[in-house]
Structure 1
């Protein structure tokens, strides 16, 4: 382990001497600078010594380093912040696998597993560094569930989802790693920080209702805490259905599809959405099939017969 750290520090020293400067510092010395010696030691202890892609110690060799630089520059994120964030982001990816395994070994409770996976030091520090770049550029924030098209729909209606913030837009383009499970905790930490910035109405768009989703299990509880401190934070719910041509429409209380249907509470919104999917969903409409199947699974899980 010490030899790995010394090699990384030698790499850092050579890069600094070559004129890269502290803003582009790489290797474990950069990790120490951002997250502290204890966290770096913990990261090293998790490694097996046979890393397939230890990009945390050679971040500029990651295939998306160039696109990341272009995206952050276009987003207006200062280079020094962007470079440090990239280092932390890759450190998070490299260390997440071990955290995921620990979470599975320690508990069978899904939320407890999610919390353990989200304890990734690098992701937490990355989000702290990027918090100012979660700024909402429209009057209202948007949250969503049911596919990225729902996020695009919310943005088209004048609200800002996480993916349309400066840093969210950058991350939404990058792949980072083929294993989504190594990236999901980063998005969870980022979404919690995003929700904490709410200062006014938050519009919530649901194409499907999933109690275990990040929206319901994490973002909404966080919003409730924000509401306790700021009564201006109101939750505005929108049940959404996808028509056969791919267009998203909202559902009224009498089950009509319109351009806008708002509800002041989650329960009535969910009820309208589920009842519409049960009574009016066209089986030939492949665009809405995922939401319909999700609804059927939820109903069966709650003791009702499928299709009843």
Structure 2
């Protein structure tokens, strides 16, 4: 590894998906699943893509108590991770060149290794929930990952989708012709991986990716709400960031959909008359939440286990706010 004071070039931006497909065709796709990174520790390849700052931060983190042993081991030996071959295969199928695959994998594992201490610092230094979330999301590896693969967060369908209330809501949004983060080229790959058993180590990565995702909104953004939580990433982070984008681009508008899961598991949308239909949209969050809450409060079937959690969360929130049940 070079001296940490040695200047390095700025990170190379990932090519657009179409360009990646052409570049990948010239690469050695059959060997992708068994390929090794250029350096046993992965740091030389990382330094070329991410720069000295990220590498220095990684080295410093190793000396701090609280860094998790398994995460350190995977960051130092990325090809030893059990999902390395799967990641390579999926990235190849999605049209990524080998160079992007190598660097993205090292950045992901480096971020997981750094996240434990960052989480501890967030709890020790901050009392406000959003401050804690912001500190956890300051992970330099995840930030660099977004800069590196940003073009692969572009949507492949006309309209962007955000959601809250379980992964089924994301699947539903996709079925309606919209594109959630999990359906972008890179998001689709990462969504299929476990990466680590410690979900608190990878959740900040998704928060960083989601912020970069909403920054790419160019038109209407459809928001599907099966459960309302003001502290969720959707409400506390994604929507506020979208409003920043809206101030710069009048073509970006928010379209809200209250979603209820029927007893047969089918997701439906709620009309103002509290009927279920295939499409009911609202221009404001407050109107959407009111319709959703009214349906859960007045028309939810207690025997419907598919919406039991949404009903319970709604009831608890109303009770906490001093509202009648």
Q: What's the TM-score once normalised by structure 2's chain length?
A: 0.85
SS at match of 2:259: strand
Task: Give the superposition deviation at 1:21.
Answer: 9.9
Matched, 1:33 2:48: yes
1:193 aligns with 2:208: no
Runs of 4+ in 1 over 6 A off after TM superposition: 20-23
In structure 2, relative to structure 1, the CA distance for the partners of 1:21 and 1:162 (3 Å cut) is closer
**Correspondence for 2:280 among 261, 265, 273:** 261
Contact 1:34 1:125 in 2 (8 A): no
Structure 2 residue 125 is matched with structure 1 residue 96:
no
Distance 1:22 1:66 in 2: 10
Deviation, 1:302, is 1.3
**Matching residue within 201, 209, 234 for 1:182:** 201
Report whether the alignment pairs 1:168 with 2:187.
yes
- Give SS of 1:52's match: helix
Q: Deviations over 1:40-83 (max 9, x none)?
A: 22322222588234211111110000000011011111111111
1:216 to 227, 231, 235: 235
1:112-261 aligned at under 5 Å gives the runs: 112-261=131-280
Cα distance in 1 for residues equivalent to 2:303 and 2:258: 21
Give the number of aligned pairs. 289
| TM-score, normalised by the number of residues in structure 1 | 0.90
Name the SS of the counterpart of 2:69 in structure 1. coil
Given that 2:38 and 2:44 are in contact with CA atoms closer than 8 Å, whether structure 1 keeps it comes out as no
Cα–Cα, structure 1 residues 247 and 84, in superposed 2: closer, same or farther, change >3 Å?
Answer: same
1:268-307 equivalences in 2 (<5 Å): 268-304=287-323
2:156 counterpart SS class: coil
Alignment-derived partner of residue 43 in structure 1: 58
Q: Structure 1: which 5+ residue stretches go unaligned? A: 6-19
Choose 35-44 or 292-301, whichever is displaced more. 35-44
Q: Is the 8 Å Cα contact of residues 23 and 80 (structure 1) preserved in structure 2?
A: no
Is there any run of 5+ residues in structure 2 with no aligned partner, and where?
Answer: 5-33
SS at match of 2:55: helix
